[in-house]
Structure 1
Amino acid sequence: MYFLGIDLGSSSIKLSVLDAERGTTVSSVTVPEFEMEITAPQFGWAEQDPENWWQYVKNGIALLKTKHNTDISKIAGIGIAYQMHGLVLTDEKLNPVRPSIIWCDSRAAQIGDSIYNSIGAQKCQSQILGSPGNFTASKLKWVKDNQPELFDKAAHVMLPGDYIAAKLSGVAQTSTSGLSEAALWNFPEGRLATEVLDAMGLPERLIPEIVPNFGNQAQIHPDVATELGLNPQVKITYRAGDQPNNALSLNVFKPGEIATTAGTSAVVYAVSKNDIYDANNRINTFLHVNNAPNDKHNGVMLCINGSGILYQWLRKIMSTDRNGLISYEALNAEAAKAQPGSKGLRFYPFGNGVERIFNNKQVTSGIQNLNFNIHQSAQLVRSACEGIVFAMNYGFDVMKSIGAGGDLVRAGEANLFLSPVFREIFANTTQTTVELYNTSGAEGAARGAAYGYGYYASIGEAFEKLECLECIEPTAHLTSQYADIYNEWKNNINLQE
């Protein structure tokens, strides 16, 4: 029996098919060939067309069949992971009424701050464990205030993965963890945070059917099954935001376990059984995928917006070859030519929207100490890697201060964690052991779908075949060296605000 995992990112969409009996991936594809477009109609805005996502998903399913000769008729269930905090508004027929306002869009940050102040810090933090900030609810309020003619056309508000599920099934739904990502979940009472809706003047009618992360959520629409060549009995049995799903992909379910990733954005995500929060709203708490009414599991998360997108920017500006862009492997090799500290060059990776670790301030990126006679491309690339890790560690320190720390972190062998230099910087700056696994968000979503379908008796059984590829331990001389470099970097952050 096969299960399909779909991982909807902001740069690409990955699809993987899992053979549940063998516990191994049959085939995987990534679409489109190059990064998906993000449009910015104004400074600080970021939008994507949901209909493009849906077309790419269909293209990916076709590629699984044609390029990899995968018998997709064996697929029994579908799991969906998706970029968090995006806003998708559709009409009754599930047609988008406007482009999606995605996670790195900053336009609604002031709205979130205003609602936070009107409700009251103590009430917000006790109920939604933070501020509405720049999350989905605030983006919905922005549309209501600034595009009322489009707001009036909307019948459903969904997150990006909910939209893909709706296109597959014909049914508008969202999940409990999705509502927590949207700042619309009352944690103590385990329900929709109607308090936030009321404070924003938003109608509850826009919230679609609420389903758990795992289980028989919906069945594929017959017409869609015919169009895609899927079995008409296929069910959607799992959905989650990309970071809770990354933790699932790495078998991170228990309190004290930590997952990390460094894709377009960089994230550290720790599991806790407590409703904890940062009084300054620099980190965020969401429902983890295995949360249950009588068995609380939360995900405590820090996010740095400028991570892989910084690496993507470096790749573009360093590509002078007429034959195309240099590879990420070449960038990794270039970083390895430089020594720790990059000869004093310091990179601040804050150039992709407001940063939560700075209370949703619009912080710009910057390079310090650049000397044209000393610094070459190797130092530039390595300093970018160091800056990304230092920003992650800045947030990690906040997590540890509220009881969400640990000394072992799991990561997938993907994105920036493909770089040995990046892994070395991370292990020694955070002073944690890094376990590296050969998995992906799409594979994790497929395993989640198999568990949600009921193929596996327990969630642990779904990950019995997951193997650690490498273990990176911090070393005394490097931790000391990076502590000094990090402290210098941190002491100059205010210059970048």
Structure 2
Amino acid sequence: MLLLGIDIGTSSVKVSIVDASLQKVLAAAQYPDAESPIIALQPGWAEQSPEMWWEHAQHAIRLCHQTAAYNPADIAAIGIAYQMHGLVLVDQHQQVLRNSIIWCDSRAVAIGDKAFEAIGPERCLSHLLNSPGNFTASKLAWVKANEPEIYSKIDKIMLPGDFIAMKLTGEVTTSVSALSEGVFFDFKTNSISEDVINYFGFDEALFPVIREVFSPHGNLLSSVAQKLSLKPGIPVTYKSGDQPNNALSLNVLNPGEVAATAGTSGVIYGVTDQLGYDQQSRVNTFAHVNYTEQQKRLGVLLCINGVGSMYRWLKQVFGPDESYLQMNAGAAGAPLGSDGLRVLPFGNGAERMLNNKIVGAHFHNIDLNIHGRNHVVRAVQEGIAFAFRYGLDIMRENGMNPTIIRAGKNNLFLSELFTQSFVNITGVPVELYKNDGSVGAALGAGIGAQIFSSPKQAFEHMHPVQLVQPSTQHLEPAYQEWKALLEKQLTN
């Protein structure tokens, strides 16, 4: 019995076909090869076309089929992971009304801050566990205020994964996890927040029907099945934002377990059973994939927007003809601490852990007689590791004290230099796994379709490929210098 997982990322769409009995990947594909564009009509804005995601998902599924490694007729369930916090709007004919305002768009910061004060900081934090900040609810309020013609045509609002499920099945559903990441959900009343919809003037009819993450979200339309060489009626049985899904794919489901990723954004995601919150909303708490009213499982999320974006920019400017592997190898030849070169990697919009400030990316202490390309690459990797440490210290303030962190051996965690820098400066060992968001989505579909009797069964064949322990290399002095530069920038 086979499972199909789709991961709607910012850069590309990934698809995996997984044999449920062995939890083995039979085929995987990514589309496109080059990174998908982000539309920035103004500074701080970031949009993508939902129809582009759908086209890319179809291409990736067909690429998997072309491997001839399996029979598409054996696919029994579909799971979807997606970039979090995006806003998708459709009319009564399920036609997209505008580009999606995606996760790293900063236009709604002031709207969210105003709502936070109007509703009341204590009420927001105790009921929503977050400030409305720059999340989906505030983005919808921006559309309502600035594009009233579009707003008047909205039939349903969705997160990106809800949209892909709609294209597959014709049904529009959502989940508590999705509503919480949009800051639409009241954890005290266990319902859509009356405070949010009343303050912004939203009609509750705009929200899709709510279903559990691991449950049927519709069945594959015959017309779509024919286009994708799949069986009609296959159920979509799992939908999750990319970071809860990354945690699922690393079997991070219970209180105290922690996952990390260093892709387009950098994230540390820890699971708790407490309805807690950060007073400044620098880290954010959402319903995890296995959250229920009876057994609360919440994900505390630290997000650094500029991680992969910073490294991608670095490659485009300093190493367009080199692979990331070659860049990593060169950086390892530069000395610890990069001979004093310091990098603040915050050039991709407002940073929540920095109180939604747009700090920008900065290079400090460049010495033209000392620093070369390898210094720059190493300084960027160290700067990203320092940003993780800064964020982890905020999480520690809020009671999250990991003794080990699980991460997929991909993106920046492919770099031994970065991984060791991350471990040394945080002081926390890292277990590395061969994991992938699309594989996690496939396994999630198996859980939702009850092909697995429990999440434990879904991960019984998963084992770490590497354990990285702190070494004797001391980065603390360099970190303290980096932190002072950041705090100076924050006061400007």
Query: What range describes the TM-score normalised by the shorter chain of this pair?
Result: over 0.9
Q: Is 2:461 aligned against 1:465?
A: yes
Q: Distance in 2 between matches of 1:89 and 1:122?
A: 30
Contact 1:84-1:160 at 8 Å conserved across structures: yes
- Residue of structure 2 equivalent to 1:432: 428
Moved more, 423-432 or 70-79: 70-79
Q: Residue 262 in 1 paired to residue 262 in 2?
A: yes
SS at match of 1:460: helix
Which letter maps to 2:96? P
> Partner residue of 2:475?
482
State the match for 2:226 in structure 1. 226
CA–CA separation in structure 1 for the residues paired with 2:149 and 2:322: 45
Alignment of 1:8-47 (within 5 A): 8-47=8-47
1:112 correspondence with 2:112 = yes
Q: Which residue of 2 is the match for residue 169 of structure 1?
A: 169
- Once the two structures are superposed, the pairs formed by residues 54-453 of structure 1 within 5 Å of their partners are 54-319=54-319, 325-453=321-449
Task: State how far apart, in whole Å, the 1-side matches of 2:388 and 2:21 are.
Answer: 38
Superposed displacement of residue 69, structure 1: 4.2
Q: Which runs of 5+ in 2 are unaligned?
A: none
Deviation at 1:79, TM superposition (A): 0.6
C-alpha contact 1:64 1:70 (8 A) present in aligned 2: no
Amino acid at match of 2:178: G
**Residue 293 of structure 1, CA deviation:** 1.8
Contact 1:94/1:172 (8 A) holds in 2: no
Note if contact 1:194-1:204 (Cα within 8 Å) is conserved in structure 2.
no
Q: Distance in 2 between matches of 1:310 and 1:262?
A: 11
Contact 2:27 2:67 (C-alpha < 8 Å) held by counterparts = no
Q: Do the aligned residues in 2 keep the contact of 1:278 with 1:284 (CA within 8 Å)?
A: yes
The 1-side partners of 2:194 and 2:251 are apart by 33
For the 8 Å contact 1:310–1:349, the answer to whether it is kept is yes
Moved segments of 4+, more than 3 Å? 67-70
Specify the SS of the correspondent of 1:468. coil
Which runs of 5 or more residues in structure 1 are unaligned? none
| Cα deviation, residue 377, structure 1 | 0.8
CA contact (8 A) 1:365 1:496 kept: no
Structure 2: distance between partners of 1:380 and 1:48: 31
Supply the distance in 2 between the matched residues of 1:65 and 1:214 (Cα, whole angstroms).
Answer: 26
> Which whole-Å CA distance do the structure 1 matches of 2:291 and 2:67 have between them?
38
The normalised TM-score by structure 1 is 0.97
Report the CA distance between 1:260 and its aligned residue. Answer: 0.1
Indicate the RMSD between aligned Cα atoms, in angstroms. Answer: 1.0
1:425-476 CA distances to partner (integer Å, 9 max, x unpaired)? Answer: 011111001000001111011011001100111101100111100000012x
| Aligned counterparts of 1:42 and 1:190: Cα–Cα separation in 2 | 37
Q: For each residue in 1:405-429, what CA deviation from the matched residue of structure 2 results, as whole angstroms up to 9, or x when unmatched?
A: 2120000011000000011001111
Give the Cα–Cα distance (whole angstroms) in 2 for the partners of residues 239 and 68 of structure 1. 27
Q: Report which stretch shifted further, 451-460 or 62-71.
A: 62-71
Amino acid at match of 2:451: Y
1:494 and 2:490 matched = no
Distance 2:221 2:193 in 1: 31
Shift of 1:387: 0.8
Identity level (%):
46
C-alpha contact 1:348 1:496 (8 A) present in aligned 2: no
Count residues in correspondence. 490
Which segment drifts farther, 260-269 or 215-224? 215-224
Quote the Cα distance in structure 1 between the aligned partners of 2:447 and 2:301.
24
Q: Offset of 1:340 from its aligned partner?
A: 1.5
CA distance in 1: counterparts of 2:75 and 2:476, whole angstroms: 49
